[in-house]
């Protein structure tokens, strides 16, 4: 997925936001990446209640001599 050649690698993907056990969980290709902090996410709940798929942009970053990082963008209230 990250390819060869470059020292620093960055991949952008679309992940799902699913509500499990009362918390929003970021899921990419069927694998849970983590949960959002305990906060009110009215926009996410409104989108889900309206029947829209709730997604977010995820960036996977690999840099030399640093741990693999995953960043996600999602709307906050």
Q: Parse the chain into domains and list their residue ranges.
A: 9-73
Full-model pTM: 0.73
Q: Which of 19, 6, 5 is nearest to 74 (CA)?
A: 19
Ordered per-residue pLDDT tens for the chain, 77 residues: 555 566 788 899 999 999 888 888 999 999 998 888 877 788 888 999 999 999 989 998 988 888 888 888 776 66
- Measured from the Cβ of residue 54, the count of other Cβ atoms closer than 10 Å reads 20
The CA–CA distances, whole Å, from 52 to 17, 21, 39, 46, 69 equal 11, 20, 21, 9, 28
């Amino acid at each position: 997925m990250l390819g060869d050649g470059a020292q620093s690698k960055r991949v952008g993907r679309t992940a799902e936001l699913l509500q499990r056990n009362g918390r929003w969980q970021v899921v990419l290709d069927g694998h849970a990446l983590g949960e959002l902090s305990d906060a009110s996410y009215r926009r996410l709940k409104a989108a889900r209640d309206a029947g829209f798929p709730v997604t977010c942009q995820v960036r996977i970053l690999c840099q030399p001599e640093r741990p693999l990082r995953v960043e996600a963008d999602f709307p906050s209230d």
